[in-house]
Amino acid sequence: MFRNQYDTDVTTWSPAGRLFQVEYAMEAVKQGSAAIGLRSKTHIVLGCVNKANSELSSHQKKIFKVDDHIGVAIAGLTADGRVLSRYMRNECINYSFTYESPLPVGRLVVQLADKAQVCTQRSWKRPYGVGLLVAGLDESGAHLYYNCPSGNYFEYQAFAIGSRSQAAKTYLERRFENFSDSSRDDLVKDALMAIRETLQGETLKSSICTVAVVGVGEPFHILEQETVQQMIDAFEIVGEQEGPAAEPDAAAAAGQEAAAADQGGSTEEGVAPMDI
Amino acid sequence: MFRNQYDTDVTTWSPAGRLFQVEYAMEAVKQGSAAIGLRSKTHIVLGCVNKANSELSSHQKKIFKVDDHIGVAIAGLTADGRVLSRYMRNECINYSFTYESPLPVGRLVVQLADKAQVCTQRSWKRPYGVGLLVAGLDESGAHLYYNCPSGNYFEYQAFAIGSRSQAAKTYLERRFENFSDSSRDDLVKDALMAIRETLQGETLKSSICTVAVVGVGEPFHILEQETVQQMIDAFEIVGEQEGPAAEPDAAAAAGQEAAAADQGGSTEEGVAPMDI
Amino acid sequence: MFRNQYDTDVTTWSPAGRLFQVEYAMEAVKQGSAAIGLRSKTHIVLGCVNKANSELSSHQKKIFKVDDHIGVAIAGLTADGRVLSRYMRNECINYSFTYESPLPVGRLVVQLADKAQVCTQRSWKRPYGVGLLVAGLDESGAHLYYNCPSGNYFEYQAFAIGSRSQAAKTYLERRFENFSDSSRDDLVKDALMAIRETLQGETLKSSICTVAVVGVGEPFHILEQETVQQMIDAFEIVGEQEGPAAEPDAAAAAGQEAAAADQGGSTEEGVAPMDI
Amino acid sequence: MFRNQYDTDVTTWSPAGRLFQVEYAMEAVKQGSAAIGLRSKTHIVLGCVNKANSELSSHQKKIFKVDDHIGVAIAGLTADGRVLSRYMRNECINYSFTYESPLPVGRLVVQLADKAQVCTQRSWKRPYGVGLLVAGLDESGAHLYYNCPSGNYFEYQAFAIGSRSQAAKTYLERRFENFSDSSRDDLVKDALMAIRETLQGETLKSSICTVAVVGVGEPFHILEQETVQQMIDAFEIVGEQEGPAAEPDAAAAAGQEAAAADQGGSTEEGVAPMDI
Amino acid sequence: MFRNQYDTDVTTWSPAGRLFQVEYAMEAVKQGSAAIGLRSKTHIVLGCVNKANSELSSHQKKIFKVDDHIGVAIAGLTADGRVLSRYMRNECINYSFTYESPLPVGRLVVQLADKAQVCTQRSWKRPYGVGLLVAGLDESGAHLYYNCPSGNYFEYQAFAIGSRSQAAKTYLERRFENFSDSSRDDLVKDALMAIRETLQGETLKSSICTVAVVGVGEPFHILEQETVQQMIDAFEIVGEQEGPAAEPDAAAAAGQEAAAADQGGSTEEGVAPMDI
Amino acid sequence: MFRNQYDTDVTTWSPAGRLFQVEYAMEAVKQGSAAIGLRSKTHIVLGCVNKANSELSSHQKKIFKVDDHIGVAIAGLTADGRVLSRYMRNECINYSFTYESPLPVGRLVVQLADKAQVCTQRSWKRPYGVGLLVAGLDESGAHLYYNCPSGNYFEYQAFAIGSRSQAAKTYLERRFENFSDSSRDDLVKDALMAIRETLQGETLKSSICTVAVVGVGEPFHILEQETVQQMIDAFEIVGEQEGPAAEPDAAAAAGQEAAAADQGGSTEEGVAPMDI
Amino acid sequence: MFRNQYDTDVTTWSPAGRLFQVEYAMEAVKQGSAAIGLRSKTHIVLGCVNKANSELSSHQKKIFKVDDHIGVAIAGLTADGRVLSRYMRNECINYSFTYESPLPVGRLVVQLADKAQVCTQRSWKRPYGVGLLVAGLDESGAHLYYNCPSGNYFEYQAFAIGSRSQAAKTYLERRFENFSDSSRDDLVKDALMAIRETLQGETLKSSICTVAVVGVGEPFHILEQETVQQMIDAFEIVGEQEGPAAEPDAAAAAGQEAAAADQGGSTEEGVAPMDI
């Protein structure tokens, strides 16, 4: 598993100008169960795959409300995600207390990214091992951001992170041009379809996924399990074989990718690591 | 025993996005003597296997009262568990002093998890080597949580941790659907049965186990040894051969698991380490 | 990938008097997508290649406004660049608040360089992994500076940094003598031509580049995408085959350079590393 | 003497979930000259083997008075033991000054254990290399505790630590059922017999052992050497060949154990190191 | 490139009593472009070779004014030099503010040397990688000092540092006996001649060198480029072939020296490293 | 000279429970020139061998007065010994200033030992490399202590430390039973005889040894050289061949011991290192 | 150049009880150009060999005035020596300001030694690399001390340090019995003769040596170069061939010694390193 001498300390540059420890932390995001997000002009929907440790436990919470107008879905180390969610919650409370208006989404995202950047430049810390999809609605409209362990952030129309997220991304890319004018319910349906893509042959049930919505006139909230099941039942008759068809190959590819990661970093990064 | 270059520092990521030091600390929990917990709508029962160092000593305390409505059972490093129990005790006292109401269980569990997360991100500390089953009753009902060295926590209907806990988990999974409506005494009986599963051929006696209960109208307390023995005697006539039947294989598996752990981490973790 | 024992700590000198960690951080600038800048007597134009992570995301912001009279374009780690941009923004605000006049560009550039120098002399930090082209207009005229991870800065008539910037530099060197008296629009056109040089066969579209201008009577602002596309359309008829002609060789060279960087530092540095 | 890569830093976990540095510190206790303790309902007796460096020196003090109702016997690094004894002394003084009642023994023992636990979780310290037998009498009766470098503590009826303590433990286990109702003098006699077991062929004399008593109406004090010699003389006629009989084998085993320790940790720990 | 185990930490002595990290930092001075200085009784002249990174940039500033009566020329890491120049500037301002007289040159040089010495005795810093020629005029006359990364300083009649400075030193040694009574203009001419010696075949032009003067009745200032060019033109007719004659050999020697430096430190240091 | 991986850091335990760095510091005491001490009921005498670096220097001071009633003789690193002596001097002054009575000897010795213990438990310090024989007279009588780098201390009737001290110890053991009732002058004579034992064939002269006395009615003071010479002359006639007889073998043994120390620690320590 | 694993950290003891880093720092003193000192009852003379870096520079100052009654000559790292000299100067000023009398020489020497000792016991510092000959006159007479990097100091009648000091020491040992009653001028003459011994064939001239005197009625001052030359001329006629006679062998020995130092520490230290 030996790779090189430049990858055990976050403050050490490789000769080719890379920070391996930051890239490795980004691998932790790929290992987490999938999370997806997509937005129309008025609504943003977050979804994730629930992973229960055993029959005996409830599943782990992976979507958090931050404020009435902001929520996050995470993939990666849950503990890191929880700590960062609380940080965001505090920032929102302090802002609205001081200015009597909600904290703009983009501003919160930058603060979050700065907090992550600091962890990539101190020898006694480690980069956070979690990716966050931040959904928010403010005066400038509906926003979906992805915050990454490197301290970078990106605005997206729709995005998917975590294990087997590639299949969901393919689905979203095929359809994202319609999202902007989608109704709230169509957005939720697309979220569920994208989640199904990541399931690798498992049947989509309301018990194994969580969906949350924030939009105009609708504060951030997680949908009831029954509501979700009804929507699944409604479209199951129509769209059964779309996703799973390409699954076997994708699964095989995912397996190879994991193996590659163990040997020497993901191959897909290639020329431009760390989203420079 | 050499494994790789990424596993001696808690702030170092492996190329595949894992924090080995955190995973190793979680192995310490597997090495501790077993602890189990289960809950109905109104009661939560904690149990553990007593391990005396010799005939001369009393057994080590592994179940602690935190407040009238909360208690914990630990597996792993007893010293770490004691320090964390006292932390919880202080939080409860401060809360009820300030708000004149008991600290909600879920809130305490999050604070505990945050304390653990900090130890996974500083180079001059180590993750705690202890798992805690937190049993508590508050306005939202009866709760059973498992707090893990990684800073994660999970809510459970019933759970078992520590050495040979797999057999207990199997027992609990077979029966957990009845727990929700169980009477307090049935819960205790199931706790004792689950403990017996972990004993690997030893006979269940009140001297080698501790059982504690918290429930509606019943503050957290450890049961008297005589009470426990009476319950054991009562069901011993009925349920003699259930558990031990599968024991030999389980024991063998446990042995192999321990060996595997010495060679390179537990095999059962596979794709998703650290409950991402 | 092993090179020598002097290149893992920023406070360690090599026997030949080099600080390898600083040189490696300078490699990160070469890995970033290209950014260019050029100036006449009255205007400065910054341009960069947008890199979107996928169809779903907007491209990452790489040109930042610092103040009405100053802006920056970055190449390298975006997170580092964002943190430094905010630092510059704060310095400008504080200065104009205190002195009621804009902060001179050269002075800001020195402060920025000092901030970078400190990171090359402390064992618990790492050098910043970003290069900044600083464009500014003040009483002494129009300025274009390049600030580098080593803590050095240089004043330029025109410059290009980032991946495949060599082709752009060649273009700029061929034409820089005209820049001083160029009209604002000619400057922008030259900026677009220089950006096209770095595209390696891709067609120049307004969607894949960003252009910003600051000049006499024109505060720093990023040009509208439509405006940019109109300018591209205007000259596309004329100058089609100029740049791409030399591209294949340049691309091959760039590939070799990248490979060389992985093996042992860039070959072009030769005698005088770190701009001594 | 090389063992593995996880045993040079107290904050590093092994893949099997062990803290080797803590276990090694516990070996220092095994290297110290033996100390024993036993208790009845009303009295506690501590004893130890004196080890003089040469004929010229008085023996090193290994039993310390902490307060009128508490005393300790140590095995391991004497300097560490002395520092911890003074800590206990201060705690007792402060408590009785504030509350005008003696500090309960169990409470002092927990504070001592917490002090030891901290040294197992900081990278710039080392675990204490000393084991302490704490004898104390308070409102809840007579107590005998063993505090260990790992931060654990145990309550005992009777216990022995240090080199060749196994023989003493065997003696104590054979007889401990009588201790609870023993007279003070019988307790002292049993203490002397247990000490004799650790001597490996040497004759028991008052000059090579120290005995201390604390009990109802009898503050903690070390017995006069003459008193001890009289007791030895009294039972020497009776019990001459009991202990030494098993000695040769025990000694051989002790030798092998020491050798094993040098090669790779004590074999008797097996599955559950560090008293998890 | 491996040399020995004593050369990666500035606080580590080699068995022969050398501090290799300090010696390596002194190599950085040899890598910088050349700087020279010389003085008469009334004037001091500093000169340096300008090194532009490309046609597009202005050359980097290597001569700095410190105060009306003091200036410096640097060779080595420009960023370090800039930081030290500002330090000197501040010292001068504070002194003249407090004492209403200019800071004596020798005093400033000692403070500068002390600042450098500190960096050779702390494990978390690195020695500065720059050499400074300090020219100053005060009540005790005209002074020229050389401050070195080791914390040493030397007073000189004339001196040259940086790459290919050996040829300039040879020139200065041949002529230094006349300097003391030289006129200001003769000093400048000698400075230009010495600079020409370091050019390795390149033609001396005012664009590739900078010259500064401080003297009686003449505050420290950098000469206009035209003035310099006129002086060059004036003597070019006379002294064309003097310097370059010995150049080929010197160049070869310089090349060998550089190679030697890469292999194991400069050979010319021999018996007495670090100017002990 | 490689021994094992546990002996380069004072906070690292070996698998057998030893702190090698502390043991190595104790070797420094064995390398120092010899110091001896002995006491009667009323007097304590300290003596040491003077070691002059050359004919030109006075010998180094190795016996220090601490207070009127206390003095020390050292073996090992003189600089460490001097620092510790001053610490003791300060403690005595502060005590007598506050309490208007001399500081009891035993109390000072414990404070000194605690100061040494701290240096064995911090990663950024090293244990002191000096052994101290502390001679003092207080209300409880005449005392002689030995303070060791490990933080231990011992009370002695008579003792010798430093190089070739074994021969002196043998002499003292043969005669120590008479010391208790010796006259002051007989004590001094025995001190001189013991010193002669360490000289390895050299003739005892007052110039190569220092003797100091403290006793009832006699404050701590170093004896005049003439006084010492007279005493030597007085007994030289009588006791000429006693000591040197056994010398050859002892010397050989000492040589072997030194060699052994270079290879791997002193052999005589065997089972119980560090005076546990 | 590899020696062992115990010599790269000043806080690490070797198995034989040595601190190699301190010994290596003492080698730096041997590498410096020679310094000598000698004293009569009323005067002390310091001398040193000047080493100019080139014809162009004045020689480096190696003798410093501390106060009217104290001065030092150094060998080793000049920058360290300068820092220590200033420390001494400050101590003298503060003392005479407070007590209105000059600081006793012995007291200053102890403070200096303590400052050096601290640097041998902290992991983030390095021992000073300089030896100081301290000459001073106070109420107790004329003194000459040698302060060494280990924190030790010695009083001398006459002494020489630095490269080739062995020849000077030989000269001084042959003649030191006369020094005590020498006249001031004879002392100076002996100083010059001793300096000549270190020159290895070079001719003694006033330009290559510095001589300073402090004595009764004569504050510390450096002799004029002319005065020195006159004295040299005066005795050159007489004592020409005395010193150089033994030179060839001494030189050869010095060469061998230097080589030995590079291989593994000086051989002459043998049994007792660091002046224990």
- Contact list, B150 vs chain A (CB under 8 Å): 77, 79
Most D-contacting residue of B78, B161, B269 (CB-CB within 10 A), to test interface: B78
B49 versus D255: the higher-pLDDT residue is B49
- Which whole number is the average pLDDT over F245-259? 43
Asked if C13 and C19 count as a contact pair (C-beta separation under 8 A), the reply is yes
Assess whether pLDDT exceeds 90 at residue E3. Answer: no
Q: What average pLDDT does this structure show over B145-169?
A: 95
What confidence tens digit (pLDDT) does each residue in E93-106 have? Answer: 999 999 999 999 99
The yes-or-no verdict on residue C79 having pLDDT over 90 is yes
Cα angle vertex D29, ends D24, D30, to 5°?
A: 90
Of chain G, the percentage scoring pLDDT greater than 90 comes to 71
- pLDDT higher than threshold 70 for residue F4: no
Interface test with B, best of A21, A62, A126 (most B CBs within 10 A): A126
| Predicted local confidence at residue C246, as pLDDT | 42
pLDDT at E61: 87
Full DSSP string of C141-201: EEEEEEE-TTS-EEEBSEEEESTTHHHHHHHHHHHHHHHTT--HHHHHHHHHHHHHHTSTT
Identify the pLDDT of residue G248: 44
State the distance between the two ends of chain D, measured CA to CA, in whole angstroms.
26
Q: How deeply is F127 buried, as exposed, middle or buried, from its count of CB atoms within 10 A (0-12, 13-18, 19+)?
A: buried
For G10, nearest residue in chain E (alpha carbons) = E12
Q: How far is G194 from chain F (nearest CA, A)?
A: 14
* F73 against D7, higher pLDDT: F73
User: Which pTM was predicted?
Assistant: 0.84
Contacts of A9 in chain B (CB under 8 A): 12
- pLDDT of F205 above 70: yes
Distance from CA of G41 to the nearest CA of E (A): 32
**Range in C2-16, C158-172, E180-194, F209-223 the model is least confident about:** C2-16
Contact check, Cβ <8 Å, B126/D15? no
* C154, C146 Cβ separation under 8 angstroms: yes
Interchain proximity E17–G31, CB inside 8 Å: yes
| Residue G203, C-beta contacts closer than 8 angstroms, at least 6 positions apart | none
| Helices marked H in chain A | 20-31, 78-99, 105-118, 165-179, 184-197, 225-236, 247-264
Q: pLDDT value at position C8?
A: 80
Residues of D in contact with B256 (CB under 8 A): none
G2 to E3: CB separation less than 8 angstroms, yes or no: no
Confidence class of residue C55 from pLDDT cuts 50, 70 and 90? confident
pLDDT attached to residue E55: 78
Residue in D closest to B257 by C-alpha:
D16
Residue-level pLDDT at E237: 59
Q: Which residue of D has its CA nearest to F117?
A: D79
Long-range CB pairs of A104-109 (<8 Å, 24+ gap) are A104/A138, A104/A139, A104/A140, A105/A69, A105/A70, A105/A134, A105/A136, A105/A137, A105/A138, A105/A140, A105/A143, A105/A145, A106/A140, A106/A143, A106/A145, A108/A66, A108/A70, A108/A134, A108/A136, A109/A134, A109/A145, A109/A147, A109/A153
Contact F176 D125 (CB under 8 A): no
- D175 band by pLDDT with thresholds 50, 70 and 90: very high
**Closest-approach residue (CA) in chain C for E82:** C114
| D57 Cα to chain B: minimum distance (Å) | 35
User: Cα separation of G242 and G244, whole Å?
Assistant: 6
Res D10 pLDDT > 90: no
Over its C-alpha atoms, chain F yields an Rg (Å, rounded) of 19
pLDDT given for residue B274 in this prediction: 53
Whether the per-residue pLDDT at B40 is higher than 80: the answer is yes
pLDDT-based confidence at E239, cuts 50/70/90? low
Look up tokens 């134009």; give the residue.
C45
- State whether E14 and G2 contact (CB < 8 Å): no
Contacts of E122 in chain G (CB under 8 A): 124-125
Q: Percentage helix, strand, coil, to 5, in chain G?
A: 45, 20, 35
> A91-100, A187-196, D96-105, G233-242: lowest mean pLDDT where?
G233-242
Question: Which position has the higher pLDDT, G226 or A201?
Answer: G226
**Mean pLDDT to the nearest integer, G41-65:** 88
Q: Do E17 and G33 touch (CB under 8 A)?
A: no
The reply to whether residue A16 touches residue C127, judged by beta carbons under 8 angstroms, is: no
- Residue G182 — pLDDT band, cuts 50, 70, 90? very high
The DSSP H or E segment spanning A238 is: none
Confidence of residue F249 (pLDDT cuts 50, 70, 90): very low
Q: Tell me which chain G residues have a C-beta less than 8 angstroms from the C-beta of F119.
A: 121
Indicate the range of B122-131, D39-48, D232-241, F166-175 predicted with least confidence.
D232-241
User: Per the CB < 8 Å rule, is F18 touching D31?
Assistant: yes
Residue of G29, G124, G265 with shortest CB distance to E123: G124
Q: Residue D154 and residue B108: Cα distance in Å, rounded? A: 28
Q: Do E121 and G123 touch (CB under 8 A)?
A: no
The larger pLDDT score, comparing residue G60 to residue G110, is at G110
At G62 the pLDDT is 94
For position C274, what pLDDT does the model report?
52
Residue in chain E nearest C3 by alpha carbon: E1
In E, minimum Cα distance to C114 occurs at E83
Output the six-digit token pair for C184: 């604002």
* pLDDT the model gives residue E1: 40
Q: Is E273 on the interface with G (CB under 8 A)?
A: yes
Look at residue G267 and tell me whether its pLDDT is greater than 60.
Answer: no
Of B1, B5, F273, nearest to D264 by C-alpha is B1
Residue of F2 and B167 predicted with greater confidence: B167
Tokens coding B83: 């320090």
Closest CB from E29, E32, E57 relative to C155: E57
Residues F22-78: tens digit of each pLDDT? 999 999 999 999 999 999 999 999 999 997 767 788 888 899 999 999 999 999 999
pLDDT of residue F238: 60
Q: Give the residue-averaged pLDDT of G235-252.
A: 50
Mean pLDDT value across residues A41-51: 94
Q: Using CB atoms, which chains have 3+ pairs under 8 A with F?
A: D, G
Window 177-236 of F: residues touching G by CB (8 A cutoff) are none
Backbone Cα Rg of chain E? 19
B72-79: average pLDDT: 96
Decide which of D88 and G259 is more confident.
D88
Closest Cα in chain C, distance from residue A60 (Å): 28
Look at D38 and A7; give whichever has higher pLDDT. D38
Band of the pLDDT at E137, cuts 50, 70, 90? very high
Is G158 in the F-facing interface, judged by CB distances under 8 Å? yes
Distances (CA, A) of D166 to D36, D50, D122, D173, D245: 11, 18, 32, 10, 14
Out of E78, E83, E86, closest to residue C275 by CB: E78
Q: pLDDT tens, F120-158?
A: 988 888 999 999 999 999 999 999 999 999 999 999 999
How is chain F split among helix, strand and coil, in percent rounded to 5? Answer: 45, 20, 35
Per-residue tokens: G92: 């003298």
Closest CA to D37 of D156, D171, D150, D201: D156
F98 to chain G, any CB pair closer than 8 A? The answer is: no
At CA G75, angle to CA G71 and CA G76, rounded to 5?
130
Are chains B and C in contact at 3+ CB pairs closer than 8 Å?
Answer: no
Note the pLDDT of residue G237: 58
In whole angstroms, give the CA distance from residue E276 to residue G129: 10
Structure tokens at G2: 């590899």
Tens-digit pLDDT profile for residues F70-127: 999 999 999 999 999 999 999 999 999 999 999 999 999 999 999 999 999 888 889 9
Strand partners, C155: C145
d(CA E13, CA G63): 25
**Contact status of F55 with chain G (Cβ, < 8 Å):** yes
Chains near D with 3+ CB pairs less than 8 A apart are B, F
CA distance C65 to chain E (A): 23
Spatial CA neighbour of C67 closest among C139, C159, C148, C135: C135
Residue F34 in contact with residue F202, Cβ under 8 Å?
no
Tokens of G179: 């020094």
Report pLDDT for G238. 60
Q: Which residue has the higher pLDDT, E252 or D166?
A: D166
C149 close to C21: Cβ distance less than 8 angstroms: no
Hey, is the C-beta of A122 within 8 angstroms of any chain B C-beta?
no
Q: In terms of CA atoms, which chain B residue is nearest residue D6?
A: B8
Residues in chain E closer than 8 A to C180 (CB atoms): none
Q: How far apart are CA F264 and CA F18, in angstroms?
A: 14
The phi, psi pair for G191, rounded to 5°, reads -60, -45
